[in-house]
Amino acid sequence: MFQQISIVLLLLLWATMFHRGACGTSLQLPCNEKDQSALLVFKLGVVNHSKMLPSWSNEQDCCAWRGVYCDNSTGRVTKLDLKQQYLEGEINLSLLQIEFLNYLDLSLNGFTSLNAPFDDTHASFPNVQFLDLSFNDDLHVDNLRWLSQLSSLKYLNLSQINLQNETNWLQFMQLHPSLVDLRLASCRLTNISPSMKYANFSSLLNLDLSGNHFVSELPYWLFNLTSISNIDLSFNLLQGPIPKSLLSLRNLKFLRLNDNEINGSIPEWLGQHEQLQYLGLSENMFHGSIPSSIGNLSSLVKLSISSSLLSGNLPTSLGQLFNLKSLSIGGESLSGVLYENHFSNLSNLEELVLSAPFAFDLASHWIPPFQLTGITISNANLGPKFPEWLYSQGSLVYLEVPNSSISYINGDLFWKFVANITQLNLSKNTISADLTNITLNSELIFMDHNNFTGGLPLISANVIYLDLSRNSFYGPISPFFCHKLGMENNLDYLDIAFNLLTGGVPDCWEYWKGLSFLFMESNMLTGELPSSMDSFIDLIALDLHNNNLSGNFSLDLSNVTNLEFINIRENNFSGIVPTKMPHGMEVMLLGSNQFEGNIPPQLCNLSSLIQLDLFHNKLSGSIPQCISDIPSLGGAERTSHYPFEFNLYTKGQELNYRDYGLRRTLDLSYNNFSGEIPTQVFKLVQLQSLNLSRNHFTGKISREIGSMKNLESLDLSSNKLDGEIPGSISSLSFLSFLNLSYNDFMGQIPIGTQIQGFVASSFAGNPGLCGAPLPINCTGESVNVDVSKQNGGSNDDAFETDSLYLGMGVGFAVGFWGLLGSLFLNRTWRHAYIRFLNYVADQLHVFVAVKFNSFSATLSSWF
Which domains can be identified in the chain, with CATH numbers? 21-162 (3.80.10.10), 540-776 (3.80.10.10), 781-862 (no CATH)
CA 723 vs CA 683, 702, 708, 711, 752: distances in Å: 20, 10, 20, 22, 19
The backbone torsions φ and ψ at residue 89, rounded to the nearest 5 degrees and listed phi first, read 95, -140
Nearest to 602 by CA among 574, 624, 622, 572: 624
Q: Report the alpha-carbon distance of residue 551 to residue 545 in Å, rounded.
A: 14
Residue 207 and residue 256 in contact, taking contact as beta carbons nearer than 8 Å: no
Torsion angle of C-alpha atoms 489, 495, 496, 499, degrees rounded to 10: -170
Residue 770 and residue 748 in contact, taking contact as beta carbons nearer than 8 Å: yes
Using only C-alpha atoms, what is the Rg of the chain? Answer: 38
Q: Report the alpha-carbon distance of residue 747 to residue 766 in Å, rounded.
A: 10
User: Which amino acid appears at position 200 of this protein?
Assistant: N
pLDDT number for residue 639: 53
The total number of residues written for the chain in this structure: 863
pLDDT number for residue 22: 35
User: Which amino acid appears at position 47 of this protein?
Assistant: V
pTM: 0.78
pLDDT number for residue 16: 41
- Does the N-terminal peptide bond of residue 384 adopt cis geometry, omega within 30 degrees of 0? yes
Rounded to 5°, the CA angle 55-57-61 comes to 80
Identify how many contiguous H helices and E strands the chain contains and give both numbers: 9, 49
Judged on CB neighbours under 10 Å (0-12, 13-18, 19+), 479 is: middle
pLDDT number for residue 656: 57
Q: Report the alpha-carbon distance of residue 693 to residue 652 in Å, rounded.
A: 11
- Does the N-terminal peptide bond of residue 750 adopt cis geometry, omega within 30 degrees of 0? no
Mean pLDDT for each consecutive 10-residue tract of the chain (863 residues)?
Answer: 45 41 48 90 83 76 90 92 92 90 95 80 80 95 89 95 93 90 96 90 95 95 94 97 94 96 96 94 96 95 96 95 97 94 96 96 92 96 93 96 95 92 97 94 96 96 96 95 78 96 92 91 96 88 96 92 94 95 93 96 91 96 90 60 58 56 86 95 92 97 93 95 94 92 95 84 94 85 32 35 37 38 39 39 39 38 37
Residue 274 and residue 250 in contact, taking contact as beta carbons nearer than 8 Å: no
pLDDT number for residue 850: 35
Judged on CB neighbours under 10 Å (0-12, 13-18, 19+), 110 is: middle
Q: Report the alpha-carbon distance of residue 467 to residue 505 in Å, rounded.
A: 19
pLDDT number for residue 385: 94
- How many other C-beta atoms lie within 10 A of the C-beta of residue 855? 10
Residue 459 and residue 440 in contact, taking contact as beta carbons nearer than 8 Å: yes
Strand partners, 231: 207, 255
Q: Which residues of 503-524 are buried (b: 16+ CB within 10 A; e: fewer)?
A: eebbebbebbeebbbbbbbbbe
Residue 562 and residue 539 in contact, taking contact as beta carbons nearer than 8 Å: yes
Strand partners, 474: 500
Nearest to 274 by CA among 295, 257, 243, 292: 295
The continuous run of DSSP H or E covering 301 comes out as: none
Q: Report DSSP letters for 266-299, one per residue.
A: --GGGGG-TT-SEEEEEEE--BBPPPGGGGG-TT
Residue 478 and residue 508 in contact, taking contact as beta carbons nearer than 8 Å: yes
Contacts of 646 by beta carbon, 8 Å cutoff, 6+ apart: 543, 545, 567, 587, 589, 656, 657, 659
User: Which amino acid appears at position 493 of this protein?
Assistant: Y
Q: Report DSSP letters for 330-341, one per residue.
A: E-TTB--EE-GG
Centroid of chain to Cα 825: 59
pLDDT number for residue 411: 86
Q: Report the alpha-carbon distance of residue 716 to residue 511 in Å, rounded.
A: 46
